Amino acid sequence: MRYFITGTAGFIGFHLARRLLEQGHEVLGFDGMTPYYSLRLKEARNAGLAQFPSFRPVMGMLEDKVLLERSLADFKPDILVHLAAQAGVRYSLENPKAYLDSNLVGSWNILEIARTYGVGHLMLASTSSVYGANPEVPFRETDKADEPLTFYAASKKAMEVMAHSYAHLYKVPTTAFRFFTVYGPWGRPDMALFKFVKAMIEDREIEVYGEGRMSRDFTYIDDLVDSIVDLSRILPGEDNRVPEVDTLSSQGPFRVVNIGGGQPAGLLDFVETIERIMGKPANRKMLPMQKGDVPRTFASPDLLVALTGRKPETNLEEGVRAFVQWYLDHRHEID
């Protein structure tokens, strides 16, 4: 099949593209190579994908609708996976306009080209951040998610709502998936695991927010990719409606699905896992919770399991060990 993936130089886009290329699919990758974090890391991911003859990269910004249209018209994809976005909860407090441009204007451009070129399945990356400080756990897709705590979360919820309108108006089969703290090799330098491991190797202190009392539903990258690939084959429709837990819209072929294992870990447990694997204690700097942070994330995987038959299962020890080994092998190429 032909996949058009935005954000292939990013963490998740790189892993998804590589998996699909290994399976023999064609991938057209679209990425803006923005300097939000290390371009060396993004270039290294791109170089890995370039080894596959069935990979075609395009460099451009989501706001460039003309380039997006030209790329799609040429390629004619079966499935469009929109992963590119301005990421980062805390950065949205510093530069909200970047989120407006990429996550709203850019995502609208994706909706327009999906409608114009009639892709078979539009898949959109959303986030667990849309649940805000939801007091009910686990977070279910049917929960109210109208009180975002950051502009990042608001931009992702807005994308979901815009996509629903296009699914209704133009019958574009659309699946939006909400990610829960994704981690693993080739991860982002602004994420806690990357920052903690790097700081510990360099004998610097690590910053532990919320005095370590927060918890997160960590999702290993290979499990996430499994779920995206599984869901790509399941077009939202009445023939696969799941009683009681489904978000399948009554107004169009649209569904929201959590991708998380439903096994949250405390932040201090996370730090202790890293310490155990690295064989050294961290110099911890305990700090209060930052503006926009949520105390916990906790996915209900019920809908994902009903649709695909599985959920993320990699335990934290195994996943952190894989990241640490990757970082030790590649740090001199990407730092």
Identify residue 84 by its one-letter amino acid code.
A
Mark whether 152 is an active-site residue. Answer: yes
Q: Hey, what are 296's tokens?
A: 């916990």
Query: How large is the angle between the packed helices 267-278 and 192-201, nearest 10 degrees?
Result: 40
The 3-state DSSP class for residue 55 equals strand
| Nearest by Cα to 248 from 174, 335, 156, 150 | 174
The 3-state DSSP class for residue 115 equals helix
Kindly name the residue from 37, 91, 152, 183 that is annotated as catalytic. Answer: 152
End-to-end CA distance of the chain: 35
| Nearest by Cα to 289 from 90, 19, 84 | 90
Q: Hey, what are 266's tokens?
A: 């405390």
Residue with tokens 């699914």: 167
Residues contacting 53, CB < 8 A, separation 6+:
none
CA angle 181–82–309, rounded 5-degree value? 60
Active site residues: 152
